[in-house]
Amino acid sequence: MNLRAITAQIVGSVLDRGESLATALPAGQARLENPKDKALLQELCYGIMRELPKLEFFINTLMEKPMLGKQRVMHHLMLVGAYQLLHTRIPAHAALAETVEACIDLNRPNMKGLVNGVLRNLQRREQELVDKLPTKAPLAYCHPSWFVKRISKAYPKNWQQILQANNERSPMWLRNNATMQTRDNYLEQLHDLEIEASAGELGDNSILLHKPVPVHALPMFEEGACSVQDAAAQQAAELLAAQPGELILDACAAPGGKTCHIIESCEDLEVVALDCDQTRLERVQENLDRIGLRAQLICGDGCTPEEWWNGPLFDRILLDAPCSATGVIRRNPDIKWLRRDSDIAQLVDLQQEILNACWRILKPGGTLLYATCSVLPEENSWQIKQFLAQQSDAKLVPLHEQDNVENPGWQLFPGGEDNVDGFYYAKLQKIV
């Protein structure tokens, strides 16, 4: 099937049916045989999600009336064409020809003239249309207005940088497996294969690739020598600081990167990996198997530990809480259009419920590390501040000089000097 037609269908699945790219894209790639076509499909889908408001402004400006109902797929196809013309090196004649031809596979051959006309008009009037772009933040920064409002209110000094970073392409970070070799040794192995990389400033085993590569190109990847994991996410295991002989719970563990890192970081641990989704839990097992690690996997709800755990209290708990994922938008740009403002309050309530439940199964003197991949204070510092006010046996363990009960935790923003994802951590100790 025509690659542009598949792209239009995937874009429609996300925008009109609320399906994530993580689900829709692999299904689309399975319909293609050539690896280069699969890569192009991903580039088009991700790029359209990054630039969506501007692309829609151009297409809607050039159309007399919007494409609705069964014709909506043609709107998505024109987004595909517009992205190619404005943001890729694909020759314009090839982009136009392939996009117009996609009308046949989408069962709209009578629309070829319209698609061709709109895209050629865009090509001719590109600068004129760019000059007409409204300068208001939602369109200028390609984010929904509700998110712009929340971010600009929470971070009045750097909200623009956060939005700009969200629209950048995400880097590829590795976590060196220190049980197999030193980070310097693995950097040498990468150098020998002419894979340019450097040691990360954040994390003892983080490695930043200068250009992403397929995982099968990485030395000893299948044997567990490294894992793909953002440097910000790597802080989870390091801040948890598990000690030999301890019983550890990784709550909301899927897909398992942090679970594996915890086990790699310390010998003689008993680790329980919990997730409420059996399919996602299978990914945890796959990651453990690749590296050759063991953990007890439990499918259960973090809100109701009494239903799945009757063992001893845990020494340490990593609670990587369900969140808005607004810190990893550059990796998942469809989050911008799938998330709703009303979701945040519901997520905050769920986080609070899981946090309270996990606290009940933490040993006195034990440590709980709360983590999200969000940049919203409601899910992060406000959540922990409220928890500390309500739990008389909870003590904040500062992670930096400004980490205090009035503004608890450590907020990392996407991009910046370290070029990491947006993450939040707060470390809590249960008073004996």
pLDDT tens profile 334-393: 999 999 999 999 999 999 999 999 999 999 999 999 999 999 999 999 999 999 999 999
* Token pair of 282 as six digits: 């299978």
- pLDDT, position 341: 98
CA atoms of 391 and 246, how far apart (whole Å): 24
Mean pLDDT to the nearest integer, 8-27: 97
- pLDDT, position 300: 97
CA atoms of 410 and 88, how far apart (whole Å): 37
* Token pair of 129 as six digits: 């249309």
- Around Cβ 67, how many Cβ atoms within 10 Å? 18
CATH 3.30.70.1170 fits 172-228, yes or no: yes
Mean pLDDT to the nearest integer, 140-144: 96
Task: Please say if the pLDDT value at position 15 is more than 90.
Answer: yes
CA 321, 324, 330, 333 torsion-angle sign:
positive
Mean pLDDT to the nearest integer, 26-40: 96
* Token pair of 84 as six digits: 């190619």
Look up 299 and say whether it is catalytic: no
Task: Please say if the pLDDT value at position 7 is more than 90.
Answer: yes
Mean pLDDT to the nearest integer, 49-68: 95
Q: What is the 3-state secondary structure (H, E, C) of the chain?
A: CCHHHHHHHHHHHHHHHCCCHHHHHHHHHCCCCCHHHHHHHHHHHHHHHHHHHHHHHHHHHHCCCCCCHHHHHHHHHHHHHHHHHHHCCCCHHHHHHHHHHHHHHCCCHHHHHHHHHHHHHHHHHHHHHHHHCCCCHHHHCCCCHHHHHHHHHHCCCCHHHHHHHHCCCCCEEEEECCCCCCHHHHHHHHHHCCCCEEECCCCCCEEEECCCCCHHHCCCCCCCCEEECCHHHHHHHHHHCCCCCCEEEEECCCCCHHHHHHHHHCCCCEEEEEECCHHHHHHHHHHHHHHCCCCEEEECCCCCHHHCCCCCCEEEEEEECCCCCCCCCCCCCCHHHHCCHHHHHHHHHHHHHHHHHHHHCEEEEEEEEEEECCCCHHHCHHHHHHHHHHCCCEEEECCCCCCECCECCEEECCECCCCECCEEEEEEEECC
* Token pair of 23 as six digits: 């689900």
- pLDDT-derived band at 432 (thresholds 50, 70, 90) equals confident
Amino acid at 220: M
Contacts of 292 (CB under 8 A, 6+ apart): 224
pTM of the model: 0.95
Q: Which CATH number fits domain 231-430: 1.20.1440.230, 3.40.50.150, 1.10.10.60, 3.50.50.60?
A: 3.40.50.150
* Token pair of 209 as six digits: 């690739």
* Token pair of 286 as six digits: 């796959």
C-beta separation of 49 from 333 below 8 A = yes
- pLDDT-derived band at 259 (thresholds 50, 70, 90) equals very high
Contacts of 177 (CB under 8 A, 6+ apart): 205, 224, 225, 226, 227, 264, 291
Among residues of the chain, what percentage have pLDDT more than 70? 100
C-beta separation of 370 from 355 below 8 A = yes
- pLDDT-derived band at 107 (thresholds 50, 70, 90) equals very high
CA atoms of 20 and 30, how far apart (whole Å): 16
CA atoms of 135 and 147, how far apart (whole Å): 17
Mean pLDDT of the chain: 97
- pLDDT, position 281: 96
Mean pLDDT to the nearest integer, 62-83: 94
CA atoms of 270 and 344, how far apart (whole Å): 34
Task: Please say if the pLDDT value at position 115 is more than 90.
Answer: yes
- Which residues does residue 271 pair with via DSSP β-bridges, in sequence order? 248
CATH superfamily of 3-133: NusB-like (1.10.940.10)
Among candidates 89, 73, 80, which has minimal Cα distance to 58?
80
Catalytic pick from 45, 323, 358, 373? Answer: 373
Residue ranges of domains in the chain: 3-133, 172-228, 231-430
Burial class (CB in 10 A: 0-12, 13-18, 19+), 368: buried
CA atoms of 412 and 418, how far apart (whole Å): 10
